[in-house]
Chain A
């Protein structure tokens, strides 16, 4: 009986919590997005779709595509770096695997803002990278790395890489090595084993990791502010400026909702992909 009461209590608590701190704020954002902007009161009646229409102005479409492109690039680079790393980690004896994961997490005990400032020192005209390039004679003039889209992607990859690696490690963990041995016994080449067994079976990890990198990458305005020279490179920069500088809250809210819709769409695709994998007799994917 007690157990049942506790269960009920836990469910109610969770629902109230989510309702109060997730549902209500989002409804407020949605509501704000269809109100009219006002200098005095931030958002007022009457309801209007004006802000939503403005989303489709060419200048914002450009930011949207740029944001999408930078986030995609970040995701692909994280995947290329994270996939072999996760594979190696998963195959190591437990002790080493703990050490490697620990080493990957340690920098994250330092605030990401501080680490982003540190990247400025590394990429600057007199920073480590340029000093090395100049010193070895690869270039004669310092390369302009800082305050470019390159620096933004560099920063995003650095900050978000663990979010790619962790789901991948858990996917590799569940990869049944007997399947690979069987494939090898039957004469499958490494490439064939990789393409036909490893990739499909780690697909849930690939998708989960990609989402966890891609979605935050669209919004990390401070990385673009510090490393990209505070031009409006990401959707997150536009949203921040609409709320804090221009004070057009309905427009900022419309942008936020649009971002949420994109995220929801991607999560839905993830759900579909997962279901397909499960139906094909792939992984039991409850844990992801």
Chain B
């Protein structure tokens, strides 16, 4: 009967060596924003144990990083305007590019932008657009051409909006001919007052996956992200994507390493892994968002490369306005946003 303690001791020893030997990486990403197998493949190849958690919008992520002063996570994937904000507040650390062998794969189109000149602190992961989703079984997609169409009284209690302050304001700002990055209080107020008129039409603010209510048949019209449409179409080809004529919302999400990250080495390995052409290819194939990775794009099938939802036409891109940091004006947006959601 001496076996049990001996076994226990062996297990404990095995556990403690495992604890010491194991490299770790804590990733904090948007929900459903990486193919499930990619994380597992990365773990298998590198032996690094990945702890993965998700957030539903930029603001929640920012609050946590801010509160923990940049500790607790090794990789985060903020949108451009928050890359800028977090960089200026000293929440990010420089990415050591000498550790990245796949940097050359990135297309220069989305590098060296004002939110992070020279890409010292961020490298783009995916970009995409926010437009209008239509279920063609219930609504003729050709009748929906603009954000303004959503204001029609006949959609009372029918619309889905994303639970994202910048995207919702984008609609109203564009509808009134303003920039999506407007910091002019008068313009933002006009947008707010216009959104108040839209609220009776809103059924739901969706935070995690806008395609779900479309696929469940609970909504047939509303805002949706380009990749969500591609994912939804795999199961339900009736869901269509419309680029509103005032301009869809365009955004880039980038890998950053918070200043207090504990596994900096692993974080660089992860970024480098994600920059591989075949990994980038799989990301686009499974998520349907657009990749800034030129080498990955070249590997995609003709059909995907020419899919206008993933890679919009040159005509659309010419007028596309990307989200940018708007500094202190954000407080103004947040205040109005809270009022809108409370019903005022």
A residues within 8 Å of B by Cβ?
39-40, 42, 59-60, 62-63, 120-121, 124-127, 142, 144, 146-147, 225, 229-232, 238, 241-247
Contact = CB atoms under 8 A, between A and B. Distances in A.
Interface of B: 57, 59-60, 63, 66-67, 89, 157, 163, 165, 202-207, 216-218, 328, 331, 334-335, 337-339, 341-344
A124 B63 contact: no
Nearest to B89: A40
Given A230-B204, A231-B205, A245-B57, A121 B216 contact: yes
Contact of A229 (B67, B205, B344): B205
Nearest to B331: A39
Contacts of B207: 225, 230
Q: Which among B67, B204, B205, B328 has the greatest number of chain A C-beta atoms within 10 A?
A: B204
A174 B36 CA distance: 54
A35 B126 CA distance: 40
Contact of A230 (B59, B60, B339, B341): B341
A158 B337 CA distance: 31
A230 B206 contact: yes
Contacts of B63: 243-245, 247
A171 to B, nearest CB: 39
B88 to A, nearest CB: 11
A96 B89 CA distance: 62
A124 B216 CA distance: 7
Contact of A126 (B165, B203, B204, B216): B216
Contact of A245 (B89, B165, B206): B165
B204 A229 contact: yes
B207 to A, nearest CB: 6
B217 A124 contact: yes
CB-CB nearest 7 A-B residue pairs: A229-B204, A230-B205, A126-B217, A232-B342, A245-B59, A59-B344, A147-B204
Contacts of A40: 89
Nearest to A123: B218
A125 B218 contact: yes
B338 A241 contact: yes
A265 B67 CA distance: 32
B342 A125 contact: no
A116 B337 CA distance: 26
Contacts of B89: 40
B337 A245 contact: yes
Nearest to A237: B341
A246 B203 contact: no
Given A125-B216, A245-B337, 4 more contacts: A229-B202, A230-B206, A232-B341, A246-B59
A62 B344 CA distance: 10
Contacts of B334: 245-247
Contacts of A147: 203-204, 218
Nearest to A241: B338
Contacts of B60: 244-245
A60 B66 CA distance: 27
A279 to B, nearest CB: 44
A33 B63 CA distance: 18
Nearest to B338: A246
Nearest to A37: B331
Contacts of A120: 216
Contacts of A59: 339, 342-344
A241 B63 CA distance: 11
Contacts of B57: 245
